[in-house]
Amino acid sequence: MLTGIYRSASTGARVFTEAKEVGQCLARREGMLWLDLEAPSPEEVALLENDFHFHPLLVQECLRLTDRPKVDFSAECVYLIVHAPHIDKKERRVTTLEIDVFLGPGYLLTYHPYPVESITLLRERCKPGGGGDRLLARGPDFLLYHFAEAVVDHFFTVVDDVELRMDDLEKEVFSRATERSFRKILHLKRDLSHLRRILGPQREVFSLLAREDTPFVSAEAQRHLRNVYDHFTIIHDVAETDRDMVAGLRDTYLSYVSNRLAQTMKVLTVITTCLMPASILAGAWGMNFDHIPLKEWPYAFEAFFLSCTLLAGGMLGLFHWRRWI
């Protein structure tokens, strides 16, 4: 799906969805164009080479999914790979979606094979009825800043959701830890590890954008991008801290399970030890000898069980006195 928003001083901002209008907007060499390609068709993908004249290797890299953010500076444009967070509400799993961004003279192009919430919200803001003329008036570098701001705000939302899950899981572990709790801990650790793996390189991407000398990003826009870099640093540090807390939660769960197992083994050991005298007596009086003491005594059966009970009770008293139980 192609969505183009073109803004010029004479006509203001307008939205178009036809691929043929892209070349017309670029040919005017005035105004500002934002072209968003969401799950584009082959005809729309062809715009990258035919209208924007990007190098085939750059187009090939754009079409290939990668899990590492990066930025490349060239004479024709600035190329970025940015990841936006995504929450799978069914499984409550945190993933990221790749967005390829091209920043050039008078245009910003975003390419993503899946719908991205950050782009959708920014696209609505840039439409004529949503204040698009004001957002587009400062140029493509400031639109890139607004895009980065939308992505970083979404990361804050996702990290807040992860921390809420972690708080609920902490209460569960300290109250009624089960094997299901351990699976939740592992899933949470997986989500935070993925966020940490993405946030580190992505922070460096905006660090380079904020200080690299390029004609496509003004000094004022770089000042704003440094603010985005600071926010990514904060999120990265929070994700790192949360990851350590989840590791501590995992250790707490393992300690709880180990203690519970030790308590169970202690109870079973006490039961086995208390039954041991009865087993010895039963084995001795159950042997096939002709002469067995008390064999003919009418109260032998009651005496046997009374003796076993007294021995077991005495052993329990001894264990309690020694503070073993």
The reported pLDDT for the residue numbered 81 is 92
The reported pLDDT for the residue numbered 188 is 87
Which residue from 136, 151, 135, 137 is spatially nearest to 101, judged by alpha carbons?
A: 151
Cα separation, 301 vs 303, whole angstroms: 5
Q: Is 106 left (phi over 0), alpha (psi -120 to 50) or beta?
A: left
The reported pLDDT for the residue numbered 131 is 64
Q: Using 50, 70 and 90 to split pLDDT, how confident is the model at 183?
A: confident
Adjacency order of strands within the sheet including 2-8: 12-16, 2-8, 32-38, 107-112, 93-104, 78-88, 70-73
Overall average pLDDT of the 108-116 stretch: 90
Residue 101, pLDDT above cutoff 80: yes
Instruction: List pLDDT tens digits, range 232-242.
Output: 999 999 988 88
Residue 91, pLDDT above cutoff 80: no
Q: 2-256: which CATH topology?
A: Beta Polymerase; domain 2 (3.30.460)
Instruction: List pLDDT tens digits, range 115-141.
Output: 888 888 888 888 776 666 777 888 888
Q: Using 50, 70 and 90 to split pLDDT, how confident is the model at 269?
A: confident
Asked: is 258-321 a CATH 3.40.630.30 domain? The reply is no
Residue 102, pLDDT above cutoff 90: yes
Instruction: Indicate the pTM of the whole model.
Output: 0.78
Q: Which helix (H) or strand (E) holds 228?
A: helix 219-285
Overall average pLDDT of the 26-37 stretch: 82
Least confident of 38-42, 132-136, 261-265, 313-317: 132-136
Cα separation, 71 vs 198, whole angstroms: 14
The reported pLDDT for the residue numbered 171 is 84
Average pLDDT, the chain: 84
Instruction: List pLDDT tens digits, range 274-287.
Output: 788 878 777 777 77
Which residue from 270, 259, 256, 267 is spatially nearest to 316, judged by alpha carbons?
A: 270
**Boundaries of every domain in the chain:** 2-256, 258-321
Instruction: List pLDDT tens digits, range 137-182.
Output: 888 889 999 999 999 999 998 888 888 888 888 888 887 777 888 8
Residue 230, pLDDT above cutoff 90: yes
